Amino acid sequence: MKNLNLSPLKKLEIILGGEHQAFATDVLDRAGVKGYTIVNNLSGKGSHGFHEGHLMFNEDDVLIMIIAAVPADLVTAILEGLAPFYNEHSGVVFISDIQVTRLVKFSG
């Protein structure tokens, strides 16, 4: 087995309502993210707490999750771009550290 060249990246898991998919992918496209994966038809439970916007009972809304691996320098920009959205809508973004083997697929 050859030596795997692992490069560190950040993984973003963006969970939001399915109707906003186009918006989120547009943000990622404009940030220059090369590709992403969309997981459909999730369900989950959310907390209320945003101002009067939503009636949240047991949340079995249809959610999607967009998984993207981005270089660390793009993370702040993407989060800044998503912040106004999450001020008004439910959902969450998870950021974790990952490693990938073929860096060229994700950045550059």
Partner 1 sequence: MSLRLGQTLKIRAMAYVAGEPIPFFWPMRSFIHHNPLHGLEHHPFPEAVARGERLFQARGFLPRSGYQRYLRLGKVDRAALGAGVEAFLAQREAVAGIDLPKWILALMTRMDRPVVAGSGLAREADVVVALRGGPIRGTVPGADHVRARLREELLDSRPVYEAVDLLFGTGVGAELDELVIKSCLDFFDEGQSVWSMPGRERGFFAAWREIARRSGRLYLRGLHIGRILRDEEGPEAVIVRVMETLGVGEGRWTTYFTRELARLHGWAGFIRWRSGARHYYWAQRYPADLVDFLAVRLALGLALLGERARTGPTTEPELERFIEDRWREAYLRHELFSGAVLPAMAARVERTLAAGRPARIERLYEEYVAAKRAEEARDQAERLQVLAAMSDGQEALSRLSAEDLGRLVGILRDFERGEGMIWLNAMENRAVERLLGGIRPGAPPADGKRPFAQALFCIDTRSERIRRHLEGVGDYETYGIAGFFGVPVSFMELGKGSEVHLCPVLLTPKNLVMEIAVAQGNDDVTALTVLEKAFHELKESVLSPFVTVEAIGLLFGFDMVGKTLLPERYNRWRKRLHQRKPRTHLLLDKLSREQADSVIRAVQRAVIAKAIAQEFGLEAEQIHDAVVRELREVAMGHAQGAPKLAAMLGLDATSEQAFIGRLRTVYRINPSVVRLQMERLGRLGFSLDEQVVFVAQALKAIGLTENFSRFVLLVGHGSTSENNPYESALDCGACGGNQGLVNARVLAQMANKPAVRRRLREQGIDIPEDTWFFPALHDTTTDELRLFDLDRVPASHVVYMDRLRKGLLAASRLCTQERMPTLLPSPASLSPAAASRYAARNALDWSQVRPEWGLAGNAYFIIGRRALTQSFALEGRAFLHSYDYRIDPKRRLLETILTGPLVVGQWINMEHYFSTVDNERFGSGSKAYHNVAGRFGVMTGNLSDLRTGLPAQTVLDRGFPYHEPLRLITVIEAPFDHAWRAVEEVSVVKYLVRNGWIRLLIVDPERHCVDVYEDAAWSRRPFPGTVQSQPAEESVPS
**Which residues make up the interface to partner 1 (CB under 8 A)?**
22-23, 26-27, 30-32, 52-55, 57, 60-62, 74, 76-85, 87-89
Of 29 and 99, CB closest to partner 1: 29
Cα dihedral 86/92/93/97 (nearest 10): 150
Query: 30 or 105, CB closer to partner 1?
Result: 30
Max Cα–Cα distance, the chain, nearest Å: 57
Helix or strand or coil: residue 14?
strand
- Nearest CB to partner 1, comparing residues 87 and 99: 87
Least gap, CB of 57 to partner 1 (angstroms): 8
Cβ proximity to partner 1, 34 vs 89, nearer residue: 89
Start-end of H helices in 1-108 = 21-31, 72-88
Q: How far is the CB of 84 from partner 1 (least distance, A)?
A: 4
Of 37, 90, 36, 84, the residue nearest 61 (C-alpha):
90
Residue pair 62/43 in contact by the 8 Å Cβ criterion: yes
Report in angstroms how near the CB of residue 27 gets to partner 1 at its nearest.
5
